[in-house]
Structures are given as C-alpha cells and as structure tokens.
Structure 1
Amino acid sequence: MIALFFATEKECELIINSLSNKQFFSIKTVSFIKGKIKDVDLLLCISGIGKTSATLASVICFEKFSIKGTIVSGIGGAYPSSGLDIGSIVVAEKEIFADEGLLRNCNANIDSFIFLNSEEILLYVPHFLKTLPKGTFLTVSSCTGNLERAIFLEKNFNGICENMEGAAVAKVCEIYKIPCIEIRSISNIVTDRAELLSLKEISKASMIVQKFILEHIKLFEESL
C-alpha cells in the first residue's frame, strides 16, 4: 500500500473524491482515508500543519500499516531566484530542516546562522519525474513572509522552495526504510506579504499536483 501525506484536507480534495471503496477513520486524532485509484491501494493521511504533526502522523501510519512507499504532497512557496512560477510542479531531491539553530540576522552575505541540524535527507526521485523541476526543499516552522529572510534561506541552503512538513515525513521514512517521494505545486513566490494564502489560492495550486498524481498513479506504484 502507498501512503500519501497532505497537511490539510483542502490540499487533497480531488484525490479524496477520486478514491473508490473509501474508508474514513482516525487514529490518535490523525485522519486517514483508505481506498483505491486505478486498482492501486492507497492510504491517504491528513497530517495537520507543521513538523510535529507530520512526525506524529507518519510514525502512527508506519506503525499501524504495511506501507511500501510514501508520497508527500501539497503546496509550497518558491524562493525568488528559483525560476519557478505559480502552478509549477516541483520534486524534492533532498529536504533540510531550515530553521533549527541560532539565527543572528538575515544577511545572506555573512556567517549569520549557526545550524544545529545540518543533516540533509535524500529523497527518492523516480525516473519518470526527473524531467520536472527538482532541487532542495526547505522545511520551516513558519511560512516566510519577508523578502530578506527568503533571500537568506535560498542562498544559505540552496533551496528552491519551502514547506512545513516535508523533512519531518522524510526523516521518519528514512528511519523506517520506506522510499519517500515529495512532489508539490507552487502556490506563491516568497516575498514580503502581510496575509496568509486564501483557501481559493491553496485549492487552485493544489489541484495541479493532485491531477498529476492521479494521472501517473500507476507509475508511482511501479516505481515504489
């Protein structure tokens, strides 16, 4: 069975609606939906937002179910120099916990950050995904709404986009020796902003990567 991780229900509505033989249930408050798409057995996990929720959800998932591979998906914010556009589908080659340590300032040109968790978690990139834009994803505790910090993060870690759960799920997959693919659609370019994304923006961006996953689910299964 393949596990699909999304932070929120809004990011996976299309996949939920596409499942046949749906079974809804929760374990320790984590929501799961079991079903099939094109005869592929899937377990959809709605982890909740952030690293702690993602870690707990993935541990519960791998302890309770026999999972042969994992797909982490949803939306992400692209860094200014990434060359990515809103709606781009991007694949993670590796994940980094990008805000664990001592941040002295956001000047990207000086030694401003003492990094406590320097581990880079490698992710699995199947052959059929290698033509898509790919690179380093950064997992952060809070979305970046400041251009100076965005430039600092992308230069310091050579990151192309950020999210709030990927590295946590990838780390647990590494411990359990489960292949992990992370594929997201870009919802925004990280810059100065005062507000969170609207539900409409989240839904519009997430539909793009959901459609891709649905169209290629057999290839995902064959590669895992």
Structure 2
Amino acid sequence: MIGIIAALKDEVRDIKNNMTQVETSEKAGMTFYKGMLYGKLVVAVMCGVGKVNAALCTQALADLFNVDCVINVGVGGAVAKGLTVGDIVISKDSVQYDMDASAFGHPRGEIPNMDMTFFPADERLIELAKEAAAKVGAAALVGRVMTADLGVDSQALKQELTELFGGACVEMEGAAIGQAACINHIPYIVIRSISDNADGDLVETYQNNFQMSVVNAAKMVLEMVKNY
C-alpha cells in the first residue's frame, strides 16, 4: 500500500478526486482515505502543517496501514539557484534545519543520539519521480529538502541554509516524515512544487501561485502511482 501525505487539503485534493472505492477512518484528528488509484491500493491523508503533525501522521500510516512507502506531496520555497515557481523538487534526502544542538557539540541539523543529519530518500522512488517529471513535462531537480517549523521570507536565511546544507527548497514537513519513515524502515520521498522564492515577497508570491503549484505536484504523484 502506498501512503500519500500532504499538509493541506488542497495539496491532497487531486489525489483524492482520482481515487475509487474510498473508505475513510480517523485517528489523532486526521482523516485517512483508503482506496484504489490506477489499480494500486493507496491511503491519502492531510496531516496538517508542521513537523509534529507530519511525524504523527507517518507513524499512523505505519501502525494502522502497514504502508510499503510514503510519498509526501506539497509546495515549497525555492532556495537553489535556477529554480522557479512551478518547478519540481524531488528529494535526494531531507534535513531538519531547526534542529540545533550545537551547544552540545553536534553539527547543526544532527539529531542527538541518532547520529543522523540527513534522511535519504528511496532510490526507486527517486527514479519513479524522475520518470514522472519527464512524462508530465515538469522541470525537476533532485536535491535536498530542508524542513523546519518556520516560513522562510529572508534572503539572509536562504544564504545561510545554502552554506550549511546546500539544499534545494524549504518547507515544513518533509524531514519529519523522513525521520519517522527511516525509523520504521519505510521507503519515502518528498515531492515539492515551488510556490515562492522564500524571500521578502513570500506571501504575495505564495498566494498567487499556490493553486498552480499544487496541481503540478499532484500530477507528479499521480504519475508515480501509475508506474509504481
């Protein structure tokens, strides 16, 4: 079974609309939609915004549905040069950049007692995503997804994150899903469509491009499921 997580209802809308034989269940304030999508058994869910919601949701998918993989779909802010609104970021890995135990001698992003900073995405899912991008005609970059409970609207922070992690985009759930998936030995990937440039024009750019970016991201995931 394929688990599909989005933070917002619009981000999971097109997935749900293409599903058949849907059954719903609820856990921890989240509604899970289990059904068929292009002949594959899937469960789609809106987890809510932020790392705690994302991790809770991933654990629920593991415990309640025993999913074979997790795909996180949504929008993000561009950090890597050359990315523009509507482009796709396919995670090679993810990092929680607001994890900072440097006072105790740990590098920024490293989780103490786990000795992990980056959560690698599944190679098969990366290849599926690259093939999906080619099929739907999306401009896609395989890169690092950087996660925090923070909306980025600062060029200075973008530069800092580039120097620290060399990431492609910023968002608020991916690495939490990555951590929970890795702990449970579940393959995962993050698919993000760029909605903004994570700069001083964040709110206006995001609002103007959110729906277009949501559609682009959903097209990617639908194509991935077809070929899974």
Q: TM-score, length-normalised on structure 2?
A: 0.85
CA–CA separation in structure 2 for the residues paired with 1:71 and 1:194: 25
Report Cα offsets for 1:17-53 as digits up to 9, x if no partner: 1111122221121121111111110000211100011
Is 1:125–2:123 an aligned residue pair?
yes
* Secondary structure in 1 matching 2:71: strand
Displacement of 1:146: 1.2
CA–CA separation in structure 2 for the residues paired with 1:159 and 1:215: 25
Tell me which residue corresponds to 2:146: 138
Given that residues 184 and 209 in structure 1 are in contact (C-alpha distance below 8 angstroms), is that contact kept between their aligned partners in structure 2?
yes
Tell me which residue corresponds to 1:101: 100
Displacement of 1:56: 1.0
5 Å matches for 1:27-46?
27-46=27-46
Displacement of 1:201: 2.7
5 Å matches for 1:171-182?
171-182=179-190
CA gap of 1:128–1:187, structure 2 versus 1, over 3 A, is same
Is 1:164–2:172 an aligned residue pair?
yes
Given that residues 102 and 114 in structure 1 are in contact (C-alpha distance below 8 angstroms), is that contact kept between their aligned partners in structure 2?
yes
Identity value in percent:
24
5 Å matches for 1:66-215?
66-79=66-79, 81-101=80-100, 115=108, 117=110, 119-126=117-124, 127-130=127-130, 132-193=140-201, 195=203, 201-215=209-223
AA aligned opposite 1:120: F
Displacement of 1:61: 1.7
Displacement of 1:197: 6.0
AA aligned opposite 1:76: G
Runs of 4+ off more than 4 Å: 196-200
CA–CA separation in structure 1 for the residues paired with 2:173 and 2:82: 23
Displacement of 1:14: 1.1
* Secondary structure in 2 matching 1:83: coil
Given that residues 145 and 190 in structure 1 are in contact (C-alpha distance below 8 angstroms), is that contact kept between their aligned partners in structure 2?
yes
CA gap of 1:198–1:157, structure 2 versus 1, over 3 A, is closer
Moved more, 46-55 or 60-69: 60-69
Displacement of 1:172: 0.8
Report Cα offsets for 1:35-85 as digits up to 9, x if no partner: 111111000021110001111111122111121111111111111x43111
CA–CA separation in structure 2 for the residues paired with 1:197 and 1:6: 20
Gaps in structure 1 of 5+ consecutive residues? 104-112
Displacement of 1:3: 0.2
Given that residues 73 and 221 in structure 2 are in contact (C-alpha distance below 8 angstroms), is that contact kept between their aligned partners in structure 1?
no
Tell me which residue corresponds to 1:51: 51
Tell me which residue corresponds to 1:15: 15
Report Cα offsets for 1:143-187 as digits up to 9, x if no partner: 101111111112211011011000011111111111112111111
Gaps in structure 2 of 5+ consecutive residues? 112-116, 132-139
Tell me which residue corresponds to 1:109: none
* Secondary structure in 2 matching 1:23: strand
CA gap of 1:212–1:114, structure 2 versus 1, over 3 A, is closer
Task: Tell me how many residue pairs correspond in the alignment.
Answer: 211
